[in-house]
Amino acid sequence: MYSVDQLTRGVRNPRMALNELQRHYYARTTRNATDGVDIPAEDWDALVILDACRFDAFERLSDLPGSLSKRRSKAPTTVEFLRANLAGVDMTDTVYVTANPQFYRIEHGVYDVEPIGCRFHEVVDVWQDGWDDETGTVHPDRVTRAALEAAEEHPNKRLLVHYMQPHAPYIGPTGRDRLPSRQLNFWESYKRGDLDVDLDVVRRAYDENLELVLDEVDELLDGLSGRVVVTADHGELLGDRSGPIPYRKYGHLRGLHVPELVEVPWLVYEDGPRPRISAETSTTEDAEVADDVVVDRLRDLGYAD
Protein backbone atom coordinates (compact mmCIF):
# COMPACT_ATOMS: atom_id res chain seq x y z
CA MET A 1 0.00 0.00 0.00
CA TYR A 2 1.09 3.56 -0.68
CA SER A 3 0.87 6.48 1.72
CA VAL A 4 -1.09 9.63 0.88
CA ASP A 5 2.21 11.46 0.44
CA GLN A 6 3.46 8.85 -2.05
CA LEU A 7 0.23 8.99 -4.03
CA THR A 8 0.38 12.79 -4.11
CA ARG A 9 3.94 12.71 -5.41
CA GLY A 10 2.89 10.22 -8.08
CA VAL A 11 0.14 12.56 -9.30
CA ARG A 12 2.52 15.53 -9.35
CA ASN A 13 5.29 13.54 -11.03
CA PRO A 14 3.82 11.19 -13.69
CA ARG A 15 7.28 9.86 -14.56
CA MET A 16 7.71 8.65 -10.98
CA ALA A 17 4.35 6.88 -11.20
CA LEU A 18 5.34 5.24 -14.50
CA ASN A 19 8.62 4.07 -12.98
CA GLU A 20 6.71 2.49 -10.10
CA LEU A 21 4.31 0.73 -12.48
CA GLN A 22 7.19 -0.72 -14.45
CA ARG A 23 9.01 -1.77 -11.28
CA HIS A 24 5.95 -3.79 -10.22
CA TYR A 25 5.66 -5.25 -13.71
CA TYR A 26 9.23 -6.56 -13.60
CA ALA A 27 8.84 -7.77 -10.02
CA ARG A 28 6.00 -10.01 -11.22
CA THR A 29 7.34 -11.09 -14.60
CA THR A 30 11.14 -11.33 -14.38
CA ARG A 31 13.34 -13.95 -12.85
CA ASN A 32 14.25 -13.85 -9.21
CA ALA A 33 17.52 -12.13 -8.26
CA THR A 34 18.96 -15.54 -7.37
CA ASP A 35 19.12 -16.26 -11.11
CA GLY A 36 21.83 -13.64 -11.56
CA VAL A 37 25.55 -14.23 -11.23
CA ASP A 38 26.62 -15.02 -7.65
CA ILE A 39 29.75 -12.90 -7.24
CA PRO A 40 31.27 -14.54 -4.11
CA ALA A 41 30.73 -18.06 -5.49
CA GLU A 42 32.41 -17.42 -8.85
CA ASP A 43 36.00 -18.47 -9.53
CA TRP A 44 38.28 -15.41 -9.34
CA ASP A 45 41.36 -14.12 -7.57
CA ALA A 46 40.52 -10.49 -8.37
CA LEU A 47 37.17 -9.16 -9.50
CA VAL A 48 36.82 -5.65 -10.92
CA ILE A 49 33.46 -3.86 -10.79
CA LEU A 50 32.79 -1.00 -13.21
CA ASP A 51 29.88 0.93 -11.75
CA ALA A 52 26.91 1.34 -14.12
CA CYS A 53 28.66 -0.30 -17.09
CA ARG A 54 26.41 -1.46 -19.92
CA PHE A 55 27.36 -4.66 -21.71
CA ASP A 56 26.93 -3.14 -25.17
CA ALA A 57 29.19 -0.19 -24.34
CA PHE A 58 31.88 -2.44 -22.86
CA GLU A 59 31.78 -4.75 -25.87
CA ARG A 60 32.11 -1.79 -28.22
CA LEU A 61 34.88 0.11 -26.42
CA SER A 62 37.00 -2.41 -24.54
CA ASP A 63 40.19 -3.87 -25.96
CA LEU A 64 41.22 -5.51 -22.68
CA PRO A 65 42.74 -8.98 -22.99
CA GLY A 66 40.66 -11.98 -22.04
CA SER A 67 37.44 -13.79 -22.91
CA LEU A 68 34.23 -11.71 -22.87
CA SER A 69 30.71 -13.00 -22.29
CA LYS A 70 27.40 -11.49 -21.22
CA ARG A 71 26.08 -12.24 -17.75
CA ARG A 72 22.99 -11.26 -15.81
CA SER A 73 23.42 -9.14 -12.69
CA LYS A 74 21.20 -9.82 -9.70
CA ALA A 75 20.18 -6.18 -9.47
CA PRO A 76 19.74 -2.91 -11.40
CA THR A 77 21.24 -0.66 -8.69
CA THR A 78 24.32 -0.76 -6.47
CA VAL A 79 22.52 -1.13 -3.13
CA GLU A 80 20.39 -3.99 -4.47
CA PHE A 81 23.52 -5.55 -5.98
CA LEU A 82 25.40 -5.41 -2.67
CA ARG A 83 22.49 -6.90 -0.73
CA ALA A 84 21.80 -9.64 -3.29
CA ASN A 85 25.43 -10.76 -3.43
CA LEU A 86 26.87 -10.05 0.02
CA ALA A 87 24.09 -10.26 2.63
CA GLY A 88 25.32 -12.50 5.43
CA VAL A 89 28.32 -13.72 3.42
CA ASP A 90 31.73 -14.37 4.99
CA MET A 91 34.26 -12.56 2.78
CA THR A 92 37.20 -12.69 5.17
CA ASP A 93 39.28 -14.10 2.32
CA THR A 94 38.75 -10.85 0.37
CA VAL A 95 39.93 -7.24 0.49
CA TYR A 96 37.34 -4.80 -0.88
CA VAL A 97 38.82 -1.68 -2.50
CA THR A 98 35.98 0.69 -3.33
CA ALA A 99 35.33 4.18 -4.66
CA ASN A 100 31.60 3.85 -3.90
CA PRO A 101 30.38 4.87 -0.41
CA GLN A 102 27.29 2.66 -0.56
CA PHE A 103 28.73 -0.33 1.32
CA TYR A 104 29.94 1.93 4.13
CA ARG A 105 26.63 3.78 4.44
CA ILE A 106 24.70 0.50 4.65
CA GLU A 107 27.02 -1.20 7.14
CA HIS A 108 27.22 1.92 9.33
CA GLY A 109 23.50 2.68 9.34
CA VAL A 110 23.57 5.97 7.44
CA TYR A 111 19.93 6.68 6.44
CA ASP A 112 18.99 4.09 9.15
CA VAL A 113 19.14 1.21 6.69
CA GLU A 114 19.50 -2.44 7.68
CA PRO A 115 23.16 -3.60 7.56
CA ILE A 116 24.12 -6.24 5.03
CA GLY A 117 26.04 -8.29 7.59
CA CYS A 118 29.01 -9.07 5.32
CA ARG A 119 32.53 -9.35 6.73
CA PHE A 120 35.56 -8.64 4.55
CA HIS A 121 39.15 -9.17 5.61
CA GLU A 122 39.56 -5.45 5.02
CA VAL A 123 37.67 -2.63 3.30
CA VAL A 124 39.72 0.11 1.64
CA ASP A 125 37.40 3.10 1.26
CA VAL A 126 39.14 5.06 -1.48
CA TRP A 127 36.27 7.57 -1.43
CA GLN A 128 37.45 8.81 1.97
CA ASP A 129 40.91 10.11 1.03
CA GLY A 130 40.73 9.88 -2.77
CA TRP A 131 37.69 12.09 -3.30
CA ASP A 132 37.95 14.91 -5.84
CA ASP A 133 35.81 17.83 -4.69
CA GLU A 134 35.91 19.58 -8.06
CA THR A 135 34.30 16.75 -10.00
CA GLY A 136 32.40 15.13 -7.14
CA THR A 137 33.76 11.62 -7.57
CA VAL A 138 36.84 9.38 -7.21
CA HIS A 139 39.02 9.33 -10.31
CA PRO A 140 39.92 5.83 -11.51
CA ASP A 141 43.68 6.22 -11.11
CA ARG A 142 43.22 6.54 -7.34
CA VAL A 143 41.41 3.20 -7.29
CA THR A 144 44.09 1.50 -9.38
CA ARG A 145 46.79 2.72 -7.03
CA ALA A 146 44.91 1.55 -3.94
CA ALA A 147 44.13 -1.83 -5.51
CA LEU A 148 47.75 -2.54 -6.43
CA GLU A 149 48.85 -1.56 -2.93
CA ALA A 150 46.24 -3.90 -1.44
CA ALA A 151 47.35 -6.75 -3.70
CA GLU A 152 50.95 -6.30 -2.58
CA GLU A 153 50.01 -6.01 1.10
CA HIS A 154 47.62 -9.00 1.04
CA PRO A 155 49.06 -11.57 -1.41
CA ASN A 156 46.92 -14.39 -0.01
CA LYS A 157 43.57 -12.60 -0.29
CA ARG A 158 41.08 -12.22 -3.09
CA LEU A 159 40.71 -8.66 -4.33
CA LEU A 160 37.36 -6.99 -5.05
CA VAL A 161 37.92 -3.66 -6.80
CA HIS A 162 35.00 -1.25 -7.29
CA TYR A 163 35.64 1.66 -9.67
CA MET A 164 33.10 4.49 -9.78
CA GLN A 165 33.18 4.99 -13.56
CA PRO A 166 31.47 4.92 -16.02
CA HIS A 167 28.87 6.09 -13.48
CA ALA A 168 28.39 9.88 -13.54
CA PRO A 169 29.64 12.52 -12.84
CA TYR A 170 31.16 12.55 -16.32
CA ILE A 171 34.80 13.56 -16.04
CA GLY A 172 35.97 13.17 -19.64
CA PRO A 173 36.34 16.11 -22.07
CA THR A 174 32.68 16.16 -23.11
CA GLY A 175 31.42 15.82 -19.57
CA ARG A 176 33.63 18.61 -18.26
CA ASP A 177 32.81 20.95 -21.14
CA ARG A 178 29.13 20.28 -21.76
CA LEU A 179 27.51 18.82 -18.64
CA PRO A 180 27.07 19.86 -15.00
CA SER A 181 29.43 18.07 -12.64
CA ARG A 182 26.78 16.89 -10.18
CA GLN A 183 24.94 13.84 -11.50
CA LEU A 184 21.71 14.13 -9.52
CA ASN A 185 21.09 17.69 -10.66
CA PHE A 186 22.03 16.72 -14.20
CA TRP A 187 19.67 13.74 -14.49
CA GLU A 188 16.76 15.51 -12.82
CA SER A 189 17.27 18.67 -14.88
CA TYR A 190 17.68 16.67 -18.07
CA LYS A 191 14.47 14.72 -17.51
CA ARG A 192 12.56 17.94 -16.86
CA GLY A 193 13.93 19.45 -20.07
CA ASP A 194 15.79 22.20 -18.23
CA LEU A 195 19.10 21.50 -20.01
CA ASP A 196 19.74 22.22 -23.66
CA VAL A 197 21.91 19.13 -24.18
CA ASP A 198 21.46 16.62 -26.96
CA LEU A 199 21.17 12.98 -25.90
CA ASP A 200 24.12 12.12 -28.15
CA VAL A 201 26.27 14.41 -25.98
CA VAL A 202 25.24 12.50 -22.85
CA ARG A 203 26.05 9.18 -24.49
CA ARG A 204 29.42 10.47 -25.64
CA ALA A 205 30.20 11.64 -22.11
CA TYR A 206 29.28 8.19 -20.80
CA ASP A 207 31.56 6.53 -23.36
CA GLU A 208 34.44 8.80 -22.33
CA ASN A 209 33.96 7.85 -18.68
CA LEU A 210 34.13 4.21 -19.69
CA GLU A 211 37.26 4.76 -21.76
CA LEU A 212 38.95 6.47 -18.81
CA VAL A 213 38.29 3.59 -16.46
CA LEU A 214 39.19 0.94 -19.06
CA ASP A 215 42.64 2.51 -19.37
CA GLU A 216 43.07 2.14 -15.61
CA VAL A 217 41.79 -1.44 -15.60
CA ASP A 218 44.36 -2.26 -18.27
CA GLU A 219 47.08 -0.96 -15.95
CA LEU A 220 45.60 -2.93 -13.05
CA LEU A 221 45.65 -6.15 -15.05
CA ASP A 222 49.35 -5.65 -15.72
CA GLY A 223 49.99 -5.60 -11.98
CA LEU A 224 47.91 -8.61 -10.94
CA SER A 225 48.55 -12.33 -11.14
CA GLY A 226 45.99 -15.10 -11.40
CA ARG A 227 42.39 -15.19 -12.60
CA VAL A 228 40.88 -11.71 -12.94
CA VAL A 229 37.25 -10.98 -13.82
CA VAL A 230 36.02 -7.58 -15.04
CA THR A 231 32.29 -7.00 -14.68
CA ALA A 232 29.68 -4.44 -13.51
CA ASP A 233 27.22 -4.15 -10.65
CA HIS A 234 24.54 -2.98 -13.09
CA GLY A 235 24.12 -1.09 -16.36
CA GLU A 236 22.79 2.36 -17.20
CA LEU A 237 19.77 3.79 -19.03
CA LEU A 238 20.75 6.48 -21.51
CA GLY A 239 17.42 7.50 -22.93
CA ASP A 240 16.45 3.92 -23.79
CA ARG A 241 12.78 3.18 -24.41
CA SER A 242 12.92 -0.13 -22.59
CA GLY A 243 10.12 -1.97 -20.87
CA PRO A 244 6.35 -2.28 -21.37
CA ILE A 245 5.84 1.51 -21.13
CA PRO A 246 8.19 2.88 -23.81
CA TYR A 247 9.11 6.34 -22.54
CA ARG A 248 12.75 7.41 -22.31
CA LYS A 249 14.51 6.38 -19.12
CA TYR A 250 17.75 7.59 -17.57
CA GLY A 251 20.16 6.40 -14.91
CA HIS A 252 19.33 3.23 -12.98
CA LEU A 253 16.10 2.60 -11.12
CA ARG A 254 15.43 0.29 -8.19
CA GLY A 255 13.62 -2.89 -9.13
CA LEU A 256 13.70 -2.21 -12.89
CA HIS A 257 15.18 -5.38 -14.36
CA VAL A 258 15.42 -4.23 -17.98
CA PRO A 259 18.24 -5.60 -20.17
CA GLU A 260 20.12 -2.29 -20.23
CA LEU A 261 20.40 -2.48 -16.42
CA VAL A 262 20.98 -6.18 -15.71
CA GLU A 263 23.01 -7.38 -18.71
CA VAL A 264 26.64 -6.85 -17.72
CA PRO A 265 30.07 -7.75 -19.11
CA TRP A 266 31.98 -10.74 -17.77
CA LEU A 267 35.59 -10.62 -18.96
CA VAL A 268 37.93 -13.37 -17.72
CA TYR A 269 41.69 -12.88 -17.96
CA GLU A 270 44.34 -15.24 -16.58
CA ASP A 271 48.02 -14.41 -16.35
CA GLY A 272 50.71 -15.79 -14.06
CA PRO A 273 50.40 -18.09 -11.05
CA ARG A 274 47.26 -18.02 -8.95
CA PRO A 275 47.66 -16.93 -5.32
CA ARG A 276 46.94 -19.26 -2.41
CA ILE A 277 43.84 -17.72 -0.86
CA SER A 278 43.06 -18.00 2.85
CA ALA A 279 40.30 -16.51 5.01
CA GLU A 280 41.41 -14.46 7.98
CA THR A 281 39.73 -11.92 10.23
CA SER A 282 41.51 -8.59 10.13
CA THR A 283 42.56 -6.70 13.24
CA THR A 284 42.25 -3.39 11.35
CA GLU A 285 39.24 -1.29 12.34
CA ASP A 286 37.34 0.80 9.80
CA ALA A 287 37.89 4.54 10.10
CA GLU A 288 34.73 6.33 11.19
CA VAL A 289 33.35 8.96 8.80
CA ALA A 290 30.78 11.59 9.75
CA ASP A 291 27.33 10.79 8.35
CA ASP A 292 27.05 14.17 6.63
CA VAL A 293 30.28 13.48 4.68
CA VAL A 294 28.89 10.15 3.48
CA VAL A 295 25.58 11.75 2.52
CA ASP A 296 27.27 14.64 0.68
CA ARG A 297 29.39 12.26 -1.39
CA LEU A 298 26.46 10.04 -2.22
CA ARG A 299 24.56 13.12 -3.40
CA ASP A 300 27.50 14.19 -5.56
CA LEU A 301 27.27 10.78 -7.22
CA GLY A 302 23.54 11.23 -7.81
CA TYR A 303 22.13 9.07 -5.04
CA ALA A 304 19.03 10.52 -3.40
CA ASP A 305 18.26 10.07 0.28
d(CA 50, CA 68): 14
Give domain status of residue 150, yes or no.
yes
Give domain status of residue 177, yes or no.
yes
Buried b (16+ CB within 10 A) or exposed e, 249-288: bbbbbebbbbebbbbbbbbbbeeeeebeeeeeeeeeeeee
Give domain status of residue 17, yes or no.
no
Give domain status of residue 218, yes or no.
yes
Write down the pTM of the prediction: 0.88
Give domain status of residue 252, yes or no.
yes
d(CA 266, CA 49): 10
pLDDT of residue 71: 98
Mean pLDDT of 250-270: 93
Give domain status of residue 278, yes or no.
no
The CATH number of whichever domain residue 41 belongs to comes to 3.40.720
d(CA 70, CA 52): 15
pLDDT tens digits for 1-44? 545 454 454 445 555 555 555 555 555 545 555 589 999 999 99
Start-to-end C-alpha separation, the chain: 21
Give domain status of residue 13, yes or no.
no
Q: Residue 239 is part of which domain span?
A: 31-273+289-300
d(CA 55, CA 263): 6
Please give the tally of structural domains in the chain: 1
